Amino acid sequence: MNQIAEPRPPIEAVFNPHSPEYLDNPASQCLALLHRGRLVWYEPWQAWMMTQLPDIMNYWKNEPLSSDFYDWEFAPPRPPEDQWSNFERAMIGHSLLADHDHHRLIRKVVSPAFSRNVVDNIQRKIEPDVKRLFDELGKPETFDYLSEVAQHIPFISITRMVGVPEKYWPDFKKVVLSFTETWNPTISEERREAARQDCNRAIDIIKEVIAERRLAPEQDDFLSTLLRVEATTDGFEEGDIITLILALIGAGADTTLVAQQWSVYCLLKHKEQIPVALETPESFANAFHEIHRWAAAGKMGFARYAPSDMDILGHQVRKGQMVLLMPHLRYHDPEAFENPEVFDVSRQFDPDILFGYGPRYCIGAALAKRQLYLTMTELFSRFPNLQLAEEPERDEQDHNAIVFKKLLLRTGQGDD
């Protein structure tokens, strides 16, 4: 006699990234979604969720879905070209959301700007700024790592790498913290418009810096490299330079801020592994994968949009519907990772999908890992007795990741 399967609860009853339970321990909810199906409709976000890594990698590689925010069914109308501001010229007209062939051209011609030698040089540039930041911090008994250190690192790294002169820093700083909100589908229109205006002001600054640099192009920074590419590459123009800089901001701003706090938290929870994690830049790059996996701090995944009515994994997806690629759901799956509850900075990752995969692999990945390594090395060398002063409270307001309201650390200066 066949047994009748009990009906499963709706997915929103077992998966809610904004719930206190998810903020405290997302693993069980991620696994519930992972095992629900390859493509799952999530009513609260009006979005499909792609759960299985082979499917996600295939869609990353072949790009049948759109990355263009304006293709989302709930996006504001795409403005006509004669009404474009700086923001639309960057986001619509050039390489962030360009056609696939142009995007591949851009990635090919600028790839030398992210070589190992270049990243080593970037580290040398930002290292004095990081040391100065810790010098200004001094030797307090306790301090909030988020406000005193982490929130400053992305800005330092991006401006030094790109070559934005310090005279522009006060006006440029705000956009580093708000740029990614310009395409976030979950925030209010008012908040997105404010971020869009910040972006317009930042592009004005970038254009001014570019004009200055054209008069003195032989400098050792990313912007000078892009100007040399522009001079020798048909189809590569100033708009592409601007959007590449914005891509670095997007890759290095709020995502790096999340990475900073979880790197400190995880290493302090597993202090015996700090020497292994910080032995070399390469060892930390691997350790950071484990930090990202163990923390499982993601909420939304990678947003894509159906460019037409289409069949996706056996489901009829309407034109304009959002499809979220959710590779982080597997981070605590014992079928994917042996003993997933164990934190091990020597764990091997194959495939490496931490920063995406395929043509739109994160352009700032090497910079992100190196700035993290530099900051962690400086932190733990200055404060070898460092410990958490308290268990940090999660911030339920963040739309994209599990983050802390503050990260209070005790330096143990008198414990030597």
- Within a domain: residue 28? no
pLDDT given at position 59: 94
Q: Confirm whether pTM is higher than 0.95.
A: no
Average pLDDT, the chain: 86
pLDDT given at position 272: 97
- Within a domain: residue 61? yes
- Within a domain: residue 395? no
Higher pLDDT, 290 or 250: 290
Stretch 262-268: mean pLDDT? 97
What gap in Å lies between CA 73 and CA 356, rounded to an integer?
24
pLDDT given at position 3: 55
Stretch 213-236: mean pLDDT? 83
Q: Could you tell me which of 323, 174, 320 has the C-alpha nearest to residue 253?
A: 174
CATH of the domain at 137: 1.10.630.10
What gap in Å lies between CA 124 and CA 280, rounded to an integer?
15
Q: Could you tell me which of 190, 369, 343 has the C-alpha nearest to residue 284?
A: 369
Q: Where residue 193 falls among pLDDT bands split at 50, 70, 90?
A: confident
For residue 107, give its domain range: 50-378
27-40 per-position pLDDT tens digit: 999 999 999 999 99
- Within a domain: residue 193? yes
Q: Where residue 120 falls among pLDDT bands split at 50, 70, 90?
A: confident
What gap in Å lies between CA 158 and CA 367, rounded to an integer?
9
What is the tally of structural domains in the chain?
A: 1
- Within a domain: residue 210? yes
Percent of the chain with pLDDT over 70: 90
Q: Where residue 260 falls among pLDDT bands split at 50, 70, 90?
A: very high
- Within a domain: residue 16? no
Higher pLDDT, 33 or 252: 33
What gap in Å lies between CA 335 and CA 337, rounded to an integer?
6
- Within a domain: residue 12? no
135-168 per-position pLDDT tens digit: 999 999 999 999 999 988 888 888 888 888 888 8
- Within a domain: residue 408? no
- Burial (CB count within 10 angstroms: exposed 0-12, middle 13-18, buried 19+), residue 309: exposed
Q: What is the dihedral of CA 334, 337, 340, 344, to 10 degrees?
A: 160
Q: Where residue 1 falls among pLDDT bands split at 50, 70, 90?
A: very low
